Amino acid sequence: SLFALAFVIGAAFLIYYQQYLLSSFLLVAGIISLVPIVFNYLGYYSVSRLVLCAVFVCAVLGISILGKTLLGKHITPSNFFDIRFFLVASVIIPITTFRMAEKRLLLTGISFSFLGLCLFDPLHNFLHIGYYDLVPATRDYYFIANFYPLMAYSFIVTGFIFIKNQQEKTEQQNEALIVQLSDTNLVLHEQHQEIESQNNEIQTQTEELITNQEQLVEAMKIIEVQKTQLHGLNQDLESELTNKNEQLLVANQELTKYNNELRQFSYTISHNLRGPIARLLGLTDLMTKEEQHLSPTQLQLVNMIRQSAMEFDGIIKDLNKIIDIRNEIYKIREKVYFQDEWDIVKTSLLSFVNPEMKIQSDFQQAPIIYTVKPIVQSVLYNLASNAMKYRSPERALRLSVTTSIVNEEIILQVSDNGLGINLHLFENDLFKLYRRFHTHTEGKGMGLYLVKSQIEAIGGSIRVESELDKGTTFYVHMPMPSAIEEQLVFDTEYGSIFYNAKLNCAGIVWKKQITSEEYRTLFTKCLNMVKMYHTPYWVSDIRHQGTVSADDQRWMLQTIYPEANRNGLVQTALIYNPQSHAADYPERILAAAESLGITIQFFDNRKSADEWIQLSFENSALR
């Protein structure tokens, strides 16, 4: 545009004024104005803007110099003032073309206008077209000609820079706002898409819920129908169940009656026949002593009668054992050492042992068990005696007895290398009463039946592995009971007896005021406990016993305590209430116990008494 303007003005001057020098200058200025365009086209944007700032200043100075050269003496003072304001105005070009961030380029562009103002007079004076060369002298020219343009220059630069700085800050804020708005719009767009997605999902779920609800309604209808049918069936079943229960109750009562009658009959048979059998055996003994008066035939008949009586007596004894097991007299668990019971069994089987036999035992994995001691001894005896009876004549007996713990059970394993049993033929009859599988030796077929009955009575089981002519192994599974500290032996409304197998301690707890008969009955039963288990410790809780007569107390001190002491009692814990007993009660008890060598300690609560017994038990174990 500058080139076109310069070209038009130069052509006008050439045609109208015939001024060739001015026209040429304008044409050259127009051509020079194309230089920034060229730099800009080539990508030198900073150089292009600097050249634009310099070209404008140079053009203004060139026009001023050219005009004063052409006009000469016709120049007026205003011609030296008005051109300066074009130089002042040229400062707008760098301010508008450069940003505040481009400080060095901005200062360089502004410096062109400032240099133009500063070099205006020196340049004109150098060419002899200065103010004093063309205009009559004025004393204040330099001050007036430079002060106001420079002041205007300063105001324009300061004002435009301030405005530009504010404008750029505003633009930056606008850009930041635009970016923020863009980010916000992006977030809102994403949220909108997410909301639409959620709405679509909710719509889908709503449709599914409607479908499920419809299905649920249909299912509820079906359930209601089935409920009605089920209610009818329940009523029928309840009626039938009531009838069955009534029938079962009647049958149970009859079964209980028959069972009691059968038990009574068994008891009568097993006990009442003992007398006649004993007398019959006695008579046969007397008859054999008079054998010189008997013929051989009569003597043979007497021996046959004696043999039959002895067999009959053995059957009655076996029946007594079975009744004892089924009546659950073996219900108290005590600490049993396998090695001790095995030693007793070996002693009782010495008549069957010969030097060639090799008998081994190992109870290290499970040395003790809390169970019924006679059962352990009976099981060991029956299995070991069977191994010796039914050993192979072709080889020496090898008998092994071991214990182990598997899955909270103690397994007693008894193995031998004897004749063995054909389990394919006799597996179902192995533990039945009076079943025998070898006839070359004496036996009644009672042992294995007793073993199985006794083991099942304590909640255990037995199994067997055997092979003909190779040997037999019995596995006796015995449970490990957990409640062994407070086993209830006897319980009535006035008192109870308990047994602590872990500490081998018997105890009695009185519940209310007692009579003399009740007092003596419970103490007698407790004494039987001490005799049976040889318990060294005794706990007696007499806080609710009430008043006991002097005769009953003397009976207890003179009869129960001495007998209990003879059977192993050495220490007693008495739990009592001092307010309920005479002041001299502890002294009398201590004096009687001291004469027997029994240690007695008085307590006011059960916990302290148990701790004292526990400590005594631990000290005894250490000794």
Return the beta strands (E) in 481-553 as ranges: 487-491, 495-500, 505-510, 537-541
* Average pLDDT in the chain: 78
Alpha carbon 104 to chain centroid, angstroms: 73
Measured distance CA(508)–CA(497) in Å, rounded: 5
Pick the CATH number of 334-479 from 3.40.50.720, 3.40.50.10240, 3.90.1570.10, 3.30.565.10: 3.30.565.10
- Whole-angstrom Cα Rg for the chain: 65
pLDDT of residue 215: 85
pLDDT of residue 489: 83
Measured distance CA(127)–CA(46) in Å, rounded: 33
Class of domain 487-622: alpha beta
Report phi then psi at 295, rounded to 5.
Answer: -75, 160
pLDDT of residue 411: 94
Rounded to 5°, angle at Cα 620 from 368 and 531: 70
198 pLDDT above the threshold of 90: no
Percent pLDDT > 90 in the chain is 13
The length of the chain is: 623
pLDDT of residue 352: 81
pLDDT of residue 405: 93
Q: What confidence tens digit (pLDDT) does each residue in 251-271 have?
A: 556 545 544 544 554 555 555
Domain ranges of the chain: 2-171, 274-326, 334-479, 487-622
Alpha carbon 557 to chain centroid, angstroms: 57
The reported pTM is 0.49
Q: What confidence tens digit (pLDDT) does each residue in 222-244 have?
A: 888 888 888 778 777 777 777 76
In angstroms, the Cα distances linking 388 to 259, 379, 436 are 38, 14, 15
Helices 20-32 + 45-71 axis angle, to 10: 170
Q: What confidence tens digit (pLDDT) does each residue in 346-401 have?
A: 888 887 888 888 999 999 999 999 888 888 988 998 889 888 888 888 888 899 99
211 pLDDT above the threshold of 50: yes
pLDDT of residue 537: 92
pLDDT of residue 266: 52
Instruction: Give me the DSSP letters along 38-104.
Output: HHHHHT-HHHHHHHHHHHHHHHHHHHHHHHHHHHGGG--THHHHHHHHHHHHTTHHHHHHS-TT-HH
Rounded to 5°, angle at Cα 171 from 169 and 172: 65
Residue 439 or residue 525, greater confidence = 525
pLDDT of residue 71: 67
Q: What is the mean pLDDT of residues 395-419?
A: 91
Determine which of 67-81, 180-194, 328-342, 570-584 has the lowest per-residue pLDDT on average. 67-81
Per the DSSP assignment, residues forming a β-bridge with 505 are 500, 537
Per the DSSP assignment, residues forming a β-bridge with 336 are 369
Measured distance CA(217)–CA(552) in Å, rounded: 79
